Amino acid sequence: MAASPLQTDTTVPPEEHLLVGELSRRLAAELASAAAICQDCEHLVGDLAGGGATLPSLTRLQALDELSQRLHGLSAVLQRIGQHASGEWSLSIEPLLEGLGLSDLVVRLRASEQAAWEAEAGELDFF
């Protein structure tokens, strides 16, 4: 069974569509950035726990390490999807971005030029 591109939604203008490979690369970069933040937190928490952490605290630290590994793994998978996706596959980006709380994340995922886009920690949107 071979995958084939779906018909594009004619109700959404083509300029609002994003290639699947590009979206995958952007999501991979966001996950890699989040994993780096987790790793920084691991080091900080490890330094704080150096004075004698309890067993429950160490278990939480291991959970933070697992989260970091999961984020790196998901980033790698999305990066590979971006490399292997057909150049013809695109989708409307706006429905995917609805409800995201971090406005800087929405801006980066919506960005039209890769050169101007980098995944970095930005301004937090508090709820």
Which tens digits make up the pLDDT trace of 33-74?
888 888 888 777 777 666 666 667 677 777 888 888 888 888
Which of 3-7, 17-21, 47-51, 104-108 comes out lowest in average pLDDT? 3-7
Residues of 49-63 as b/e, b for ≥16 C-beta within 10 angstroms? Answer: eeeeeeeeeeeebee
User: What confidence tier does 125 reach under pLDDT thresholds 50, 70, 90?
Assistant: very low
What pLDDT shows up at residue 83? 85
Question: What region, left, alpha or beta, does residue 52 occupy, with left being phi > 0 and alpha being psi -120 to 50 degrees?
Answer: left
Neighbours of 4 (CB within 10 A): 9
What pLDDT shows up at residue 4? 45
Q: Judge whether residue 108 has pLDDT over 60.
A: yes
